[in-house]
Chains A and B, each alone.
Chain A
Amino acid sequence: MTEQLYYEDVVVGSEITPLVKQPTTRQLVMWAGAVGDYNPIHYDKDFAQSRGLPGVIVHGQLVGAFLGQLMTDWIGERGVLRKLSCSYKGMNYPGETLTCRGRVTKKYVQDGQHYVECNLWAENSKEEKTVLGVAIVVLPSRADYNK
């Protein structure tokens, strides 16, 4: 695991350590089984093509889960992901490299909790942002641990 991130260490405007993913059709089948999403556009090429797609597409929510992992990797064991919103803007295809990225937009203390907000996105190798996201996390404060 990475070192614990503390509220005091977060700089607004800074980038989150990116997470690179290369979803395969096998991974799409694993995801379909894990969540019970059996929409054939994610595993049946003929069906996908009959719907006007070039081939099977990656589940938007799998990319959403990648963005979730981007955040849980970054915030460490004592950080908490409070909110994750994803908006699926474009198609992703198996075999493509997807890079999940994020940038800190805000930090504030509310009701004694230390919050950080980030804009997230997943981009393909053409640098098209196919999924946009917003995350709100709660981080530990060094002040709390040094009491």
Chain B
Amino acid sequence: MAEGLSDIDRLRDKVGVEWEPKVCQIEREMIRRFARAVGDPNPLWQDEEYATASQYGGIIAPPTFILAIGLEQFVEDVMSLTSFGTVLIGGTELECYQPIRLGDVITASFKISNLHERQGKMGRMAFITFYSGYKNQRQELVAKCRQMIIGY
């Protein structure tokens, strides 16, 4: 960590830079763990027989499962460059183009797309937009996500 720079200045030259992509094969247990954490009993996510008879022909992941593919690690890696005492999430925007199927190999790419600061009650506050894009093994765009994080 460079001395003498504020937390916000440390992030400035990271804006727009592509982070290391994450490649992830989607396994049944990952989808099951996610669905159980949400408490979502939809058989499309877990019931093999039901899902096979559906239009999808097999198990798919819920749309919000995208949040489980590397995004939090990316946010944590970036925020570890700073010494913000509090990190809060302001918002999430998710766009879904293709379902994620069991066995898909998803490549997730990450970057900081926006950074600005504001003087708040707690001093200087950073508003950071984390962007992530997801493709499957057929190079189809699966989803895009924007996550707004506040650090102070």
Contact = CB atoms under 8 A, between A and B. Distances in A.
Contacts, number: 106
Contact of B85 (A37, A51, A83): A51
Contact of B62 (A27, A59, A72): A72
Interface in A1-30: 1, 21, 27, 30
A86 B54 CA distance: 29
B70 to A, nearest CB: 8
A35 B72 contact: yes
Nearest to A51: B86
Interface in B23-67: 30, 33-34, 36-40, 42-44, 50, 54-55, 62-64, 67
B15 interface: no
With a 10 A CB-CB cut-off, give which of A38, A73, A86 has the most chain B CB atoms: A86
Nearest to B98: A80
Given A60-B92, A87-B91, A72 B37 contact: no
Interface residues of A, number: 36
Contacts of B39: 21, 27, 69
A72 B60 CA distance: 12
B83 interface: no
A114 to B, nearest CB: 16
Interface of B: 30, 33-34, 36-40, 42-44, 50, 54-55, 62-64, 67-68, 70-73, 76, 85-97
Interface of A: 1, 21, 27, 30-31, 33-39, 41, 51, 59-62, 64-66, 68-69, 72-73, 77-78, 80-88
21 contacts: A30-B36, A31-B37, A34-B33, A34-B36, A36-B73, A38-B76, A51-B86, A64-B67, A68-B62, A69-B62, A72-B40, A72-B62, A72-B63, A77-B54, A78-B55, A83-B95, A85-B92, A85-B94, A86-B91, A86-B93, A87-B90
